[in-house]
Amino acid sequence: MSTTTRTLDVALSTPTLGSDGTIRHVPLTADARGTLMPIDMAPGSEPDMGSERMLINIGPQHPATHGVLRLVLELDGETVIRCVPHVGYLHCGFEKIGEYRQYNQIIPWTDREDYLNSMGNNIAYALSAERLFGIEITPRCTVLRVIAMELSRIISHLVWLGTTAIDMGAFTPFLWTFQERETVYNLWESWVGARLTTSASRIGGMAADLPPGWIDGLKGFLRSLPKTLDETDRMLTRNGIWVGRTVGIGVMSAAEAINYGLSGPLLRAAGVAYDVRKDVPYLDYETYDWDIAVGTKGDVYDRYLVRMEEMRQSVRIIEQAIARLPDGPINVDDPRVILPPKRKATSEMESMIHHFKLVMEGPRPPVGECYVATESPKGEKGYYLVSDGTSKPVRWRIRPPAFVNLSAISKMAEGHLLSDVIVINASIDIVMGEIDR
């Protein structure tokens, strides 16, 4: 009895592994009784089965996107063909508001954009504004700002470490890193009064000088942090699951990384030794004895190693800074920008007027513009300020490192599996507050 075969033109196939290891779809036919059987095909030919790709949406509310990020993935099975990120779900008009605030009033906003690195942002903004005003800060302020920025880098990397580990299923480092952060929160709180959103810097200085005993608290933290880092290192660095999930994932070569404008640990892991602290120094970073961590392959594992090493180098910098912290005033003695001491403002007429003008009107810089870049834990963070001589900037532009870094995720995620997308996203260390501003 001859069987009549007909090819069904709906995508009816069975997946099978071809000789080169890729998934091939073998089309099926049905004979007259409806039994399915594969059509024999010439090796190497692939039937046009129509697209079997799925378009799936991750976010904007999702536990593993580190904020309100929406990723639209085109998947072929588990493999990502294309990844399109959508941002803007946390756009709060920072740059617009900056045009309606005095230069000192902008400082609380700098806390809230990259909220994991608030002290770093405060200081980066103060550096930019001080350049615009033409002010040189005091030596004590310079060293103290280095301490604050490095501490801020450490706690930002601790969050990164905890959340990346949790994304890959390692729950415990999250608790360790957040416990270390609590020590630093205590330090911030005793110094400026706030745990997270510090608003610690002012144009020309800092909000307050250190309380007594602060340095001892800091030294205690510097003794306990390396132990936590070692513990986490022992748990993760040579862990088969960790290595298997991170090595070779999300690779960016050096040339690509530069062209995509990546900065920070992503760029350094790709093998480009660009660190703003070394190449465009500020706050006397060139006078400290420390190294940059540079990776070789540009994958997620290298980024992890770079960030771990950065934390240790930050400890080194802070120890040197503590040793050289000079006494002296913390604020520059410039009545155009710094408020007079309270007892003078309440007793002397001149100080009272000067206090009044600074609070009501705000300090006014000369006409001009400047861009000062700093190395935030995410990358090159710069503030571009344009002034027209009034007390509010014409333009306050935040150069967001995480924004530019995230735009490369489509390049990084192509060809990887769905679960790798989560790992790659975690390795970029995004903070939506900074990306969306």
Partner 1 sequence: MGLTPATSPSSVTYDPPSQDGWVTTRLEFLVNWARANSLWPMPFGTACCAIEFMATAASRFDLARFGMERMSFSPRQADVLICAGRVPFKLAPVIRRIYQQMPQPKWVISMGACASTGGMFDNYAVVQGIDTIIPVDVYVPGCPPRPEALIYGIMMLQEKVKQQRSIANQQQYDEMTIDPTSKLYIPPSRIDELSEPFGNSVHQTRSAP
Partner 2 sequence: MSVVLPGAALPQSTPDPVTPRHVPHHGGEANPSVDGLRVQFGPAIGRHDVMWGETTVWVDVTRIREVMLWLRDDPEQQYDYLVDVTAVEHRDLDLPLEMVWHVRSLPYRRFLRLKATLDKNAALEVASIEPVYKAANWLEREVFDMFGVHFTGHSDLRRILMWETYAEGHPLRKDFPLRGRFSRSEQLSQALAANPEARYSMEELSVADAFHELPADMRARLAASVRTGET
Instruction: Give the C-alpha distances (Å, rounded to integers) separating 433 from 69, 100, 352, 382.
Output: 11, 20, 38, 15
Among 235, 258, 322, 418, binds partner 2 (CB under 8 A): 258
Q: Give which of 396, 402, 136, 137 is closest to 265, Cα–Cα.
A: 402
Q: Does residue 279 touch partner 2 according to CB under 8 A? A: yes
The verdict on 154 binding partner 2 (CB under 8 A) reads no
Q: Is 62 in the site for partner 1 (CB under 8 A)?
A: yes
Question: b/e string for 144-168 if b means 16 or more Cβ within 10 A?
Answer: bbbbbbbbbbbbbbbbbbbbbbbbb
Q: Is 209 left (phi over 0), alpha (psi -120 to 50) or beta?
A: beta
Site for partner 2, residues 328 to 367, rule: CB under 8 A: 366
Question: What does 404 interact with, of partner 2, partner 1, none (CB < 5 to 8 A by kind)?
Answer: partner 2
Half-sphere exposure of 359 (CA within 13 A, CB side): 9
Rule CB under 8 A: which of 344-373 touch partner 1? 361-362
Q: Is residue 181 involved in binding partner 1 (CB under 8 A)?
A: yes
Pick from 71, 104, 111, 332 the residue near partner 1 by CB under 8 A: 111
- Selection from partner 1, partner 2, none that 214 binds (CB < 5 to 8 A by kind) is none
Specify whether the CB–CB gap between 68 and 55 falls below 8 A. no
Q: How far apart are CA 105 and CA 388, in angstroms?
A: 17
By CB under 8 A, is residue 141 in contact with partner 2? no
Q: Which residue, 116 or 262, is less far from partner 1 as judged by CB?
A: 116
Q: Binding mask 71-100 vs partner 2 (x if CB under 8 A, - otherwise)?
A: -x-x-------x-x-xxx--x-x-xxx--x
Stretch that binds partner 1, among 190-198, 320-328, 346-354, 410-418 (CB under 8 A): 190-198
Query: Shortest gap between Cβ of 66 and partner 2 (angstroms)?
Result: 17
Residues 7-46, mask of contacts with partner 2 (x by CB under 8 A): ----------------------------------------
Among 99, 231, 286, 291, binds partner 1 (CB under 8 A): 99
Question: Which SS3 state, helix, strand or coil, does residue 40 take?
Answer: coil
Task: Give how many residues touch partner 1 by CB under 8 A.
Answer: 43
The count of residues in the chain is 437
Tokens of 27: 């089309």
Three-class DSSP category at 238: coil
Contact (CB, 8 A) for 152 and 122? no
State which of positions 158-177 bind partner 1 (CB under 8 A): 159, 174-175
Instruction: Identify which of residues 77 and 193 has a Cβ nearer to partner 2 in the complex.
Output: 77
Residue 383 to residue 398: CA distance in whole angstroms: 5
Nearer to partner 1, 112 or 278 (CB): 112
Contact 35, 11 (CB under 8 A): no
Closest CA relative to residue 69, chosen from 54, 91, 53: 91
Report whether 260 contacts 408 (CB < 8 A): yes
- Give the footprint of partner 2 on residues 368-407 (CB under 8 A): 368-371, 373, 380, 382, 384, 386, 388, 390, 394-395, 397, 399, 403-404, 406-407
Question: Is-contact 239 284, C-beta < 8 A?
Answer: no
Q: What is the DSSP string of 42-64?
A: -TT---------EEEEE-SS-GG
281 binds, among partner 1, partner 2, none (CB under 5 to 8 A by kind): partner 2
Choose from partner 1, partner 2, none: what does 336 bind? Cβ within 5-8 Å by kind. Answer: none
Site for partner 1 in 191-230 (CB under 8 A): 195-197
Q: Which of 418, 414, 429 is nearest to 67 (CA)?
A: 429
Q: Which residues bind partner 1 (CB under 8 A)?
A: 60-63, 67-68, 88-93, 96-97, 99-101, 108-109, 111-112, 115-116, 159, 174-175, 178-179, 181-182, 185, 195-197, 361-362, 388, 390-392, 432-433, 436
